[in-house]
Structure 1
Amino acid sequence: MAARVRPYGVRAGPRAVPVPRTGHRLGMPAVVTPEPVVKLVQRTTEPAAAQTLRSTAAAVIAFAVAQSVLPEPHPAPLTAPLTALLVVQVTLYATLTTGIRRVNAVVVGVLIASGFSSLVGLSWWTLGLTIFTSLLIGRVVRVNEFVPEVAISAMLVLGVAQVADTAWERVLETLVGAGVGLLFNLLLAPPVWVESAGVSIGGLGERMGKMFRALGEEIGGNHPVREAAARLHEARRLDHDIVEVDASLRQAEESLMLNPRVKEGLLNRVVLRTGLDTLEICAVVLRVLTRTLTDLAKARTEEALFPEDVATDLRELFGHMSDAIEGFALMITTPMAQSGEEAEERLAEALVRSRRTRDHVADLLLEDVQEHPRQWQLHGALLAEVDRILDELDIDKRTERLAEELDRRSAEAHDRHPRLRAISRRLRGAAQARRREGG
């Protein structure tokens, strides 16, 4: 029986049948693939390549359809492929919203040009007035990135002799391009960008894990202030990484919306989003932790940052926390039931080891503070920051947050569409009644 697929980061029900595996962890040599082959496969399978082919095909089809629809004679209907290029986005949701805005922009521009052409002729001041009016109205009707398209449509229509015919043709070309782009994404659903978002989240977890290991390696002996400050700046740069990961995740969330290839899209979006929120909180606490160590380094320039026994246990603690961070990132980005359970077990073991080592570190720090009470508040802050990160990574609390977020999203969807919910409930009731009668 094949392994059961389940959403990212959510515990599976019955344990799937183990799938035979190979690799160095089982004592067998791993297959080494040449680097050029790996890069070639990545280039040919990545969503960007598929999107390029999709956009090109949609533009060509839109041009052919517009040529067959428009009455002869007519100039080359380049507005149709242009609209298709703009409308066919990387996600079906973006295609739908972009298509609506694009059509609105063209229609508004055509109406403005038709109104001006019936009142005044074309001159420098009427052209300027048309552009100004188009840009102003474009912002009022909220076409977003297509505000310049309102003015462009108005200028193209205003500059021809037969305004009415040209206006109609431009609107028709736009509708053809938007329709082809929308149908293209409906019939050939765009790629789901969850994998790329998972890679981004996994990369963020690895960078944070490396930071914890580096902190552990540098914790012993005298810790120069400049090295501590360098770690602080490195932790601050995690904010930029989080912004990039957030952009990748937003794209993945849009790719799951209205996509017929996706089941349980809401659950996948919530799992990834709450997972990134957790990593973001951990990154903030990590930055505060590096600040605490920097303050300790400033206060202890002539001595070791911690006694040798404390430093040894802190090194072990940071190593376990590194494993926990990486295990958490792996858990929320692993789609297969078997692999997901392995990632969850890895995280649980890392958390147990981290808490055990943390308690031992706390006892040692308490003894050290009782003998040498200097900077006792920084010792307490260090333990509090460790506790906060371990609390954020706790598996049971993550399950609770997921359930709460799913309930909130479902309630919001029901509140936004009460009529659709009532119709759906009636349809389900009618279907159940027919099944009972048939049974």
Structure 2
Amino acid sequence: MHPNQNSSRSSEAELASGEEEQPSIGAKILHRLRQPETTSDMLLAIKGVIAGTAAWALSVFVLESDVAFMAPWTALLTVHATVHRSLSRGVQTVVSSAVGMGLAFVILQFFDVNIWSFALALLVGLVGARLSWIRDEGVAIATTAIFILTSSEPMFADRILELLVGVGVGIAVNMLIIPPLQNQQASRYVDSINRRIGAVLVEMADEFSESWTTDSADEWLKDTESMSKELNSAWQTVRFARESERKNPRKLLLRRGKKMHEDVSYEEILTRVDEGISHLRNLTRTLREAAYTSGGWDERFRTGWVSVARDTGLAVADPDESVEPLYDRLRKLTSDMSEAENLPNIEWPTYGALIASLRHIIIIVDDVASAREARQTD
């Protein structure tokens, strides 16, 4: 079929897709609320409220502070997305706030609080915030100095005690109240990308079984680019998941359970998935260029290759699917075509490229399927 000719089946598919019922707003909201990222954000906000309120209550009812701002403020600064960040940034907050108190003490001792001394305190605080070892929470130098300089009764000893209480409460809340483990997000990304690869392969086989256009190939290339972007998000999630496991008491409790499982190597799996996307892109480009070649396809090859490609797509989408028969079928197709009598007349460079790309995808599917724990199968 000429590449500029539109197939009737494509038009019917577009018409059918336009008639599909769109999900309601309530369903979209419910789906969004069920997302792991939304759950993590809501949990982090709840923990921030608990930490700040608890720190304020300790300052008011236990320490009997008249101006209980330092403890809840530092508690909020300390509650982060992972336990590791809470610990590391909690230490930075303590150091930065202590430096800010020292800066405010010097200003109060040697200068009056006026526009020039206040500006000097902010300048020194913001410059100090650029230090690499406190950069994440370095701005606390300036903000702590502001709190102290604008307070009618600085009371440095009380402020330091409130600072320690706030940081301690923030760390304790983040460690005790469902410290996050982000493996669910990582597995969701892995499963999403695999299902998308499988869907493209199935669609590709369906198109190639009859006829296809360069427009279809262009859409498949756009899909692979979108998969690459989603893969980048998956890498970010995996790195965050690894950080969430550090110093996490939940991980220690899970290791003490009856069933001991090896950690899933998402890094290795995503590397293989990236290779799968590359081979799918090469496969798409080969079909795109083949649309311009003259002559027809060998029906034995077309039928055999389409069957293997469609079943490979289904296997990619299903983590429980076995791929060993697919490899054997592709090898048999190669052997049968090699024994064809009209071998010189067959477009073997194109056929070989299609077979090679599909072979690599099958091998990658087998590798990814061997780690089913890394995918959401529900």
Q: TM above 0.5, one fold?
A: yes
- CA deviation map 1:353-387 (0-9, x unaligned): 2212221342465449833365x444333333223
* Distance in 2 of aligned mates of 1:46 and 1:396: 27
Aligned twin of 1:287:
281
Any conservation in 2 of the 1:58–1:88 contact (CA below 8 Å)? yes
Separation (CA, whole Å) in 1 of partners of 2:108 and 2:357: 68
1:85 equivalent among 71, 76, 81:
76
Identity of aligned residues (%): 22
Counterpart of 2:227 in structure 1 is: 238
Could you tell me how far apart the structure 2 residues matched to 1:368 and 1:389 are? 29
- Where does 1:344-355 land on structure 2 (aligned, <5 Å)? 346=321, 349=322, 351-355=323-327
Determine the structure 2 residue equivalent to 1:257. 246
How far apart are the structure 2 equivalents of 1:40 and 1:290? 33
Relative to structure 2, which stretch is displaced further, 79-88 or 199-208? 79-88
Note the C-alpha offset of 1:181. Answer: 1.6
For the pair 1:62 / 2:51, whether they are aligned, the reply is no
Matched residue type, 1:182: I
| 1:275 correspondence with 2:269 | yes
In the alignment, which residue of structure 2 is the partner of 1:418? Answer: none
Q: How does 1:221-370 map to 2 (within 5 A)?
A: 221-262=210-251, 263-264=254-255, 269-297=263-291, 299-300=292-293, 304=296, 306-327=297-318, 330=319, 343=320, 346=321, 349=322, 351-363=323-335, 366=338, 367=340, 370=343
**Superposed displacement of residue 187, structure 1:** 3.3
TM-score, normalising length from structure 2? 0.76
User: Which amino acid letter does the alignment assign opposite residue 209 of structure 1?
Assistant: G
* Alignment counterpart, residue 184 of structure 1, candidates 167, 173, 190: 173
Q: 1:143 to 1:127 in 2, by over 3 A?
A: same
SS in 2 for 1:198: helix
Q: How many residues align?
A: 340
Asked whether the 8 Å contact 2:269–2:368 carries over to 1, the reply is no
Alignment RMSD (CA, Å): 3.6
- Is the 8 Å Cα contact of residues 91 and 254 (structure 1) preserved in structure 2? yes
Aligned position for 1:207: 196
Q: 1:193 aligns with which of 152, 162, 182?
A: 182
Q: Structure 1's 294 and 369: CA in aligned 2 closer, same or farther, altered over 3 A?
A: farther
2:137 is paired with a residue of what secondary structure? helix
| 1:73-110 C-alpha deviation (Å, 9 max, x unpaired) | x22x2332232223223332232223222222222322
- Select the residue among 154, 157, 164 that pairs with 2:148: 157
AA of the residue aligned to 2:196: R
Q: 1:130 aligns with which of 121, 135, 142?
A: 121
Change (3 A) 1:362 1:201: same
- 2:357 aligns with 385
- State the 1:240 CA deviation: 1.3
Extract unaligned runs of 5+ from structure 2: 1-26, 372-378
- Aligned partners of 1:220 and 1:308 also within 8 Å: no
TM-score, with length taken from structure 1: 0.66
Match of 1:420 in 2: none
- Relative distance call for 1:259 and 1:372 in structure 2 (3 A) is same
CA distance in 1, matches of 2:159, 2:295: 77
Distance 1:293 1:187 in 2: 55
Alignment partner of 2:179: what SS? Answer: coil
Offset of residue 251 of structure 1? 3.4
> Which deviates further from its counterpart, 360-369 or 210-219?
360-369
CA separation in 2, counterparts of 1:170 and 1:280? 52
Q: Which runs of 5+ in 1 are unaligned?
A: 1-34, 331-342, 400-439
Cα 1:121/1:396, change in 2 over 3 Å: closer
| Amino acid aligned to 1:65 | L
**C-alpha distance in structure 1 between counterparts of 2:191 and 2:305, whole Å:** 25
Counterpart position of 1:17: none
Q: Is the 8 A contact 2:272 2:368 kept in 1?
A: no
Structure 2 counterpart of 1:139, from 113, 118, 130: 130
